[in-house]
Amino acid sequence: MQLNDPAVWTARYRAVREHSLALAAPLSDEDCGAQSMPDASPVKWHLAHTTWFFETFILEALERDFAPFHPAFRVLFNSYYNGVGEKHPRPQRGLLTRPPMAQVRAYRANVDARIAALAGSGLDGESRARLAALLTLGLQHEQQHQELMLTDVKHLLAQNGLYPEYLAEALPRALPATPLAWLHFDGGVTAAGYEGDGFCFDNELPRHRQFVEPFELASRLVTNGEFLAFIEAGGYRNAALWLAEGWDWVCTQGLDRPLYWRRDGDGDGNWHEFTLLGLQPLDLEMPLTHVSLFEADAYAHWAGARLPTEAEWEHAARSAGALPGGPPALPHPEGAATPAAQGYGPLLQMFDHCWQWTGSSYAPYPGFRPAAGAIGEYNGKFMVNQYVLRGSSCATPAGHARASYRNFFPAGTRWQFAGIRLAR
């Protein structure tokens, strides 16, 4: 972010910060304060935590005569930064009925005004460079939480038998899916990781060489209709298709369908899917979402294929010139998953539809080094017991995706917009 041009940085900062409030606008204060499970957070907490990030890592470090907006917020809205100090327990974020939403909005306004004043002050060159780097990271961090706001509120609303809508709009039906084709990619040494002079997260670095064998990648994502065929063929009852831990997971939880599929929508026995636009008839042509790595891997085995490695996915994306388009400023979060902009040449739906599971464990690249201090806790300490997802989803903010981006979640995660692209 360039701080020598106030109009540029203020417009960027304001756009990202206002977008978070716009995402919360369709929700009641009761909606914003509830937590549906330990892995999800209340929208109110997201709004406060992203503000805490700017206050803690920028204002506390660089503002003259710093004083916190509220001393208790340092603990209440710390997510996982041990270097900062104590944290409110993550599973209990929904118990924070105070502060009210009005005070969280006041907190955001206060910190925004102080950030603007700091950026316009006479900082020395080293401090200005540090401020620019932290502002850039803070806005990228907030965009991550904007996606989480949508995934978390979808999970919250899905627990309600009224099947309430986040947005009261009609969900467009998807166009017929294109026939699945297999695209061949030559093997050899390929470069992986971020390349350029813009922003990237530390887990995308350093750029390095990877060897891949020749492989083929599916031209598009797996659809709801194709996954329904897996269900009807007994896929959730066939232990031979599943990883051992995945089969235990299925049996323990009694699972037989993706997270938001229902057969009790209107009493007709047909399949429905809960979306951010309420309960909808299952669209068989729509890309499948909200499946775990276990389900993705079992489906791939059933289909006579496998999941791609993250090196294969990135190599294919770069080779085919696949670039993210990005959803509109106020997303139509599920409608964006229609094939309205399928393009990128032969590879369709690489971005903007759903994150795609890979078969790669989340691990550091050769030569990876986390940043010093608490800010270095951002990615590196989570490099265990997680798998990498690539691409972006219909809930990813515009401009946030890139070919080298590494998303990561545990194998049993289903509440994210995660789907399947096959490889072989």
pTM > 0.85: yes or no: yes
Taking only the tens place, the pLDDT of each residue in 319-366 is 988 778 655 434 556 755 444 344 446 899 999 899 999 999 999 999
246, 294 contact by CB (below 8 A) = yes
The neighbour count for residue 387, using CB atoms within 10 Å, is: 23
Taking the domains of the chain in order of start, what are their residue ranges?
A: 6-158, 182-419
C-alpha to C-alpha distance for 423 and 168, rounded to whole angstroms: 37
- Strand-pair partners of 185: 215
C-alpha to C-alpha distance for 238 and 366, rounded to whole angstroms: 38
Taking only the tens place, the pLDDT of each residue in 94-151 is 999 999 999 999 999 999 999 999 998 888 889 899 999 999 999 999 999 999 999 9
The pLDDT of residue 389 is: 98
Taking only the tens place, the pLDDT of each residue in 154-213 is 999 999 999 999 998 877 888 899 999 999 999 999 999 999 999 999 999 999 999 999
155, 86 contact by CB (below 8 A) = no
64: left (phi over 0), alpha (psi -120 to 50) or beta: beta
Nearby residues of 10 by Cβ (< 8 Å), 6 or more positions away: 116, 119
288, 332 contact by CB (below 8 A) = no
Domain 6-158: give its CATH architecture: Up-down Bundle (1.20)
The pLDDT of residue 266 is: 60
C-alpha to C-alpha distance for 326 and 357, rounded to whole angstroms: 19
What's the first-to-final CA gap in the chain, in angstroms?
A: 41
CATH class given for the domain over 182-419: alpha beta
Taking only the tens place, the pLDDT of each residue in 373-423 is 889 888 999 999 999 999 999 999 988 999 999 999 999 999 999 999 999
